[in-house]
Amino acid sequence: MKPIRLPEPPASPRAIGGGVGGITDIFDAGVSVIRRAVVIGNGFPASENQSLGLVHALGLSSHHTLYRVTRPRGGVNEWLHWLPVSVHKKLYIIITQIYGYSRILFSGRGKKLMPLPSENGFSAGLSSVLEADVKNIVTMARQTFEKEGPLLVVACGRDTISIASSIRRLASDNVFVVQIQHPRSRLERFDLVITPQHDYYPLTPRAQEQVPRFLRRWITPREPPDRHVVLTTGALHQVDSAALRSAASAWHDEFAPLAKPLLVVNIGGPTRYCRYGGDLAKQLTASLHNVLASCGSVRISFSRRTPEKISNIVVKEFGTHPKINIWNGEEPNPHMGHLAWADAFIITADSVSMLSEACSTGKPVYVIGVERCTWKFVEFHKTLRERGLVRPFTGLEDMSESWSYPPLNDTADAASRVHQALTERGWALRP
């Protein structure tokens, strides 16, 4: 049996400098040490996974609290998501006060207006997830500073921007705020911004040619990254060498008996910059048929974004195939087992997060649907190809032939930059 290959763990940023957090114990006196974190989430797994991945890489997995920004749901609220979350909430209250029991008049697409949840973890079964309230977090950071030290705040996603920036504005002496994903403007509101390099695609000559001159001033970002912007290739995540080894052990009984090579197929869903439908599903199934002879076994998974019309095509084609197992969506999710045990991956081009995780394994990653991507996603896929991290899936591949590359270590690299920024401020991080 071909042994599974796991990437070697990168050098821990906490080991840099000879001591914990990059500072030896002798220098701890008089240095503010961060031992805890607050994560500001938006309820979207792809975004929250980035924040949790950074916190994990910094060694604070057991010392963080998750807060979440919520929006009203249903009816007219579906048309108000472009507003800042605070404005949306205020407008929702006004609407409900004016119309009272007639709110159903504002119901759209068969959905009634839903009240704001009193417990923010309601949708995920997380009773411990708290509503992201700026005043409460600022008060906590100030009152516990002398005893517990500074507070690391990590946020990701558009709805978290105003919360995170307000916390820094009101408690700048007590917090270090990291915003993941480009906040569009006024980067000085944060201590550090971590964002993929392709978010700066609008500043490239090629992008400028695609935008009329009178619209260019409205395209963000408007300026090149400065010294407190950390550029990554892809998305941050929680997949590192330790996590893969743990998953390899946890999923051993299910995956070890499978015939090799094991091909894992991850299917996402169309997005703003990667639009497709059943045509891509048919292309995928046809190409998969061509490579099945060189596969020992195949595992297929869909994401939460996968439309039924796409999953139905795949299930109809391969649902009873003896070599292929299609995950039915029930827990436990085999995703980490797939990452640990797969010999190769095929991933749809729409998902930056799935591609980033797969590329962190150092194993062959094939991408399908790149030609359907536009704007900054073109730049993202170009970077992956130039670094030798991915190849296009054509259906002509021999899956028994392997190839490798230095694993993508965006999360560890970003964590190292956080340590560096803290050191420049005269702070340290000690889990």
Statement to judge: residues 192 and 245 lie in one domain: no
Task: Read off the pLDDT of residues 178-196 as tens digits, 9 standing for 90 and up.
Answer: 999 999 889 999 999 999 9
Statement to judge: residues 317 and 170 lie in one domain: no
Statement to judge: residues 42 and 183 lie in one domain: yes
- Taking only Cα atoms into account, the Rg of the chain, rounded to an integer number of angstroms, comes to 23
Statement to judge: residues 58 and 194 lie in one domain: yes
100 or 412: which leads in pLDDT? 412
277 or 430: which leads in pLDDT? 277
Average pLDDT of span 115-121? 43
Statement to judge: residues 250 and 364 lie in one domain: yes
Query: Is the N-terminal amide bond of 150 cis, ω within 30° of 0?
Result: no
Helix (H, G, I), strand (E, B) or coil at 310: helix
pLDDT number for residue 12: 46
Query: Under a CB-based contact definition with an 8 Å cutoff, are residues 210 and 174 in contact?
Result: no
Q: Cβ atoms within 10 A of the Cβ of 5, count?
A: 14
Instruction: Kindly report which listed range (63-72, 227-236, 271-280) carries the lowest average pLDDT score.
Output: 63-72
pLDDT number for residue 213: 85
The structure tokens listed for 238 are 């929680």
Domain residue limits at 403: 241-407
User: Rounded to a whole number, what is the distance in angstroms from the first to the last CA of the chain?
Assistant: 40
pLDDT number for residue 86: 72
Statement to judge: residues 315 and 345 lie in one domain: yes
Q: Cβ atoms within 10 A of the Cβ of 79, count?
A: 10
pLDDT number for residue 117: 45
Statement to judge: residues 155 and 40 lie in one domain: yes
- The DSSP-derived string for 71-118 is --BSGGGGG-TTS-HHHHHHHHHHHHHHHGGGGGGG-BTTB--BPPPS
| Model pTM score | 0.86
Task: Read off the pLDDT of residues 202-243 as tens digits, 9 standing for 90 and up.
Answer: 999 999 999 888 888 888 888 899 999 999 999 999 999 999
Residue 124 confidence class, pLDDT cut points 50, 70, 90? very low
Statement to judge: residues 276 and 169 lie in one domain: no
CATH (domain of 63): 3.40.50
- For residue 67, CA distances in Å to 43, 56, 120, 136 come to 10, 16, 8, 11
Residue 356 confidence class, pLDDT cut points 50, 70, 90? very high
Statement to judge: residues 278 and 202 lie in one domain: no
Examine residue 139 and state whether it is found in any structural domain, yes or no. Answer: yes
Examine residue 53 and state whether it is found in any structural domain, yes or no. Answer: yes
- For residue 274, what are the β-bridge partners? 373
Strands ordered across the beta sheet of 391-392? 324-326, 297-302, 262-267, 344-348, 365-368, 391-392
Average pLDDT of span 54-66? 97
pLDDT above 70: percentage of residues in the chain: 86
Query: Under a CB-based contact definition with an 8 Å cutoff, are residues 367 and 355 in contact?
Result: yes
Statement to judge: residues 149 and 220 lie in one domain: yes
Statement to judge: residues 287 and 229 lie in one domain: no
Buried/exposed 9-18: b ≥16 CB within 10 Å, e otherwise: ebebbbeeee
CATH (domain of 259): 3.40.50.2000
Rounded Cα–Cα distance for residues 230 and 225 (Å): 8
For residue 90, pLDDT over 60 is answered with yes
Rounded Cα–Cα distance for residues 179 and 165 (Å): 9
Examine residue 111 and state whether it is found in any structural domain, yes or no. Answer: no
Query: Under a CB-based contact definition with an 8 Å cutoff, are residues 54 and 410 in contact?
Result: no
Number of domains the chain is built from = 2
pLDDT number for residue 126: 40
Statement to judge: residues 43 and 164 lie in one domain: yes
Task: Read off the pLDDT of residues 153-184 as tens digits, 9 standing for 90 and up.
Answer: 999 999 999 999 999 999 999 999 999 999 98
Task: Read off the pLDDT of residues 334-351 as tens digits, 9 standing for 90 and up.
Answer: 999 999 999 999 999 999
Average pLDDT of span 71-82? 74
Cα–Cα nearest to 8, from 412, 403, 342, 400 = 412
Average pLDDT of span 130-141? 94
The structure tokens listed for 124 are 């995920």
pLDDT number for residue 21: 42
Contacts 24+ apart (CB under 8 A), 219-228: 220/182, 220/184, 220/185, 221/182, 221/184, 221/185, 222/185, 224/200, 225/193, 225/195, 225/200, 226/187, 228/187, 228/190, 228/191, 228/192, 228/193, 228/421
